Chains A and B, each alone.
Chain A
Amino acid sequence: MKTRRSPLKKAAVALAATATTLAAGAAIAEGVSYKRMADALHAVMESDRTVYTRVVVNRLTNEEKVIKASEHWKDEKALPLPAQMFRFGAEMVAEKNAGFTYSLLSLWPVNKQNAPRTPAEKEGLEAVVKNPKQPFYTEETLGKTKYFTAVYPDRAVAPACVTCHNEHRDSPRTDFKIGDVMGGVVLRIPME
């Protein structure tokens, strides 16, 4: 595990950072490490994701049975799936050049585009499945940019997660149980 606490003398460099690395630069200027920034961002993501999955989707679809959740929520007048909710947010963040990107990936993805693609993603997803208590941190170079990459376990927090994935035509795994790590959140911060 590698993390860096950048010295304050780098603040000037960081402040001159381009728009794409602004949030990361700000983190460094304040003396916040990449790891702490990633952990904080993930805490927000995980909480919102859990709330939506439990309080909205699982409650209304599984318990109250008043509405369906569907990938084709617009056509079927249904709730967006928790994974879509997460991705829509990630895409909106990406459009804002907010200084970090994130995605929801899995070793058993329904959409094969969400299978690990880089060695860091594969290693990270395997690590968090094996040891759900410990996020995975590394550095990787993609394109011409070096990233601080963190992978967090994404667990089945409600029955809806498990039933939907186990029954989905495109799911490569059908024996998930509540509490299982079904995938991981991969969060990247470009390094200066």
Chain B
Amino acid sequence: MFASARAWMLPGPTTHGHYQIELACESCHTSAFTSAEALQQACVGCHGAELKEADDKHPLAKFADPRNAPLLEKVDATMCVTCHSEHRPRMTNAMGVTLPDDFCVHCHAGIAEERPSHAGMGFDTCASAGCHNFHDNRALYEDFLLRHLDAADTRERAQVAARDFVEIAAMLPEYPSDRYPIAALTEAQADAPDHARANATAMNDWLASSHAAAGVNCSGCHQAGAADTWVDRPDHAACATCHAPEAKGFTAGKHGMRLAHGFSPMTPAQARLPMVPQAMDTPLTCSTCHGAHAFETQTAAADACLGCHADRHSLAYRSSKHFELWQKELSGELPAGSGVSCATCHMPRIEHRDPEFDIKRVLVQHNQNDTLRPNEKMLRPVCLACHGLQFSIDALADATLIERNFNGTPSAQIRSLEMARERLREHEAQRNRSAQTSN
């Protein structure tokens, strides 16, 4: 069906997470009159791994137990669409939730009996006050809060992990070490055909790149996967032959998801966020930010972002402390990993474990949305590398501070850590009392 006809048939605009691919109806509606189960499978197909990784607190397995049948009658938590209904913009709240914000009440109405400190709190504040998250509580659970009590706002040695691809590449089964042994290449060794060799800029960029330094010859990308024919402009699939997890992240996030569904690349013109007018028609592929041949990561980490993004948070970056640190890292004044670029937070370096071979490495999460919505997902992989938990939670809960790109201090203190501390004290006092009575 033509795209225009499909657009006409949309029952309503989709959320920020899906609108880029909303005309690929079959991505979710896998057949005409899709069953609820098939629709659920479509959700899990794209989002299942991420939920598992997040140690989802409300997984299907918990609700499959028949003892939860009465709860499911109130909120069918076995189906994503119970809370995340699509095509309903007028009833869609933050995080793409289409239930009224107090949905926790259906199962946790009696929480104040268990936690007297929660008496009188509105059920619309469970998730909105910086305390809880339906799926991902890895940085919010009580013992975690307790472990991070009284931490300094900023750590003395604030640094993020270094990428280790070069050290690990030869060990990776998919890496073509036989064709491209890890050793620096010279211009004479470049294996490009004549018409390509004539491009001096490309040659010089490549010679200065980490590709040339690590033995990745021209054919590594232009004839990726040992292809027979030379491709002048390799796409993200070529990059994926060596950088599969990075490409997977890219095509899962807002920058590359259109490519994953067979559409033309995303352009800033299609974005729902404010963008730089001059950049509106820039198609987004790997080389848009990394630059073909140079494959430079420092430009990609901040300048490339600001070439398109023009919202308040982005525009405030160059007057932020984070930017100051980034400048000092670039000038060599501070060691690598101590600057804070856009990517430090939005495409953080994460510990990646190969699902099949259990090889651990540090790589860049190229799904820019992985640490957002809700932004508490950023606490563990990003904020805590440099900041204390209290400071980080407070900062992430302060929308104005975020707009100012964290120029200033959080306006309010989220009480969760203090509540955890009070509860611990009460418990210890009670234990002492009962120890005294039994003596």
- Measured CB to CB, the residues of A under 8 A from B are 71-72, 74-75, 90-92, 94-95, 97, 101, 103, 112, 117-118, 121, 142-143, 145, 147, 167, 169-170, 174, 186, 188, 190
What 1/0 flags go to B54-74 for Cβ under 8 Å of A? 010001111011111110110
**Candidates A72, A112, A142; contact of B70 at CB < 8 Å:** A142
| A103, B144: Cβ atoms closer than 8 Å | no
| B66, A143: Cβ atoms closer than 8 Å | yes
Q: Which 6 A-B pairs have the closest CB atoms?
A: A91-B61, A143-B69, A94-B64, A142-B69, A142-B66, A169-B427
List 6 A–B pairs whose Cβ atoms lie within 8 Å, in order of A's numbering. Answer: A72-B141, A91-B61, A142-B70, A147-B66, A169-B423, A188-B66
A-B contact count (CB 8 A): 52
What 1/0 flags go to B37-64 for Cβ under 8 Å of A? 0000000000000000001000111101
Q: Is B187 an interface residue when CB atoms closer than 8 A count as contact?
A: no
- Measured CB to CB, the residues of B under 8 A from A are 55, 59-62, 64-70, 72-73, 114, 141, 143-144, 423-424, 427, 431, 434
Compute how far the CA of A90 lies from the CA of B424 in the bound complex, rounded to whole angstroms: 31
| B65, A103: Cβ atoms closer than 8 Å | yes
**Candidates A75, A91, A97, A186; contact of B67 at CB < 8 Å:** A186
Select from chain B the residue with minimum beta-carbon distance to A167: B431
| B64, A101: Cβ atoms closer than 8 Å | yes
A72: which B residues are within 8 A, CB to CB?
141, 143-144
B61: which A residues are within 8 A, CB to CB?
91-92, 94-95
Q: Which of B67, B73, B143, B423 has the most CB of A within 10 A?
A: B67
Q: Min CB distance, A152 to chain B, in Å?
A: 15
B60: which A residues are within 8 A, CB to CB?
95
A97: which B residues are within 8 A, CB to CB?
64
| B423, A75: Cβ atoms closer than 8 Å | no
| A91, B59: Cβ atoms closer than 8 Å | yes
Q: Which of A94, A142, A167, A169 has the most CB of B within 10 A?
A: A169
Select from chain B the residue with minimum beta-carbon distance to A111: B114
Compute how far the CA of A145 lies from the CA of B65 in the bound complex, rounded to whole angstroms: 12
Select from chain A the residue with minimum beta-carbon distance to B438: A175
| B66, A169: Cβ atoms closer than 8 Å | no
A103/B67 contact (C-beta < 8 A), A72-B143, A94-B61 known: yes
Compute how far the CA of A188 lies from the CA of B65 in the bound complex, rounded to whole angstroms: 9
B427: which A residues are within 8 A, CB to CB?
169
Q: Min CB distance, B55 to chain A, in Å?
A: 8
**Candidates B72, B424, B431; contact of A143 at CB < 8 Å:** B72
B67: which A residues are within 8 A, CB to CB?
103, 117-118, 121, 142, 186, 188
Compute how far the CA of A188 lies from the CA of B424 in the bound complex, rounded to whole angstroms: 37
Compute how far the CA of A190 lies from the CA of B64 in the bound complex, rounded to whole angstroms: 13
Compute how far the CA of A188 lies from the CA of B434 in the bound complex, rounded to whole angstroms: 39
Compute how far the CA of A71 lies from the CA of B59 in the bound complex, rounded to whole angstroms: 17
Compute how far the CA of A90 lies from the CA of B63 in the bound complex, rounded to whole angstroms: 12
B65: which A residues are within 8 A, CB to CB?
90, 94, 101, 103
Known pairs A117-B70, A169-B423 / 8 extra A-B pairs, C-beta < 8 Å:
A90-B65, A94-B65, A112-B114, A117-B68, A118-B70, A121-B67, A143-B69, A169-B427
Select from chain A the residue with minimum beta-carbon distance to B424: A169
Select from chain A the residue with minimum beta-carbon distance to B147: A75
B431: which A residues are within 8 A, CB to CB?
167
Compute how far the CA of A142 lies from the CA of B69 in the bound complex, rounded to whole angstroms: 6
B434: which A residues are within 8 A, CB to CB?
174
A142: which B residues are within 8 A, CB to CB?
66-67, 69-70
Q: Min CB distance, B21 to chain A, in Å?
A: 28
B72: which A residues are within 8 A, CB to CB?
143
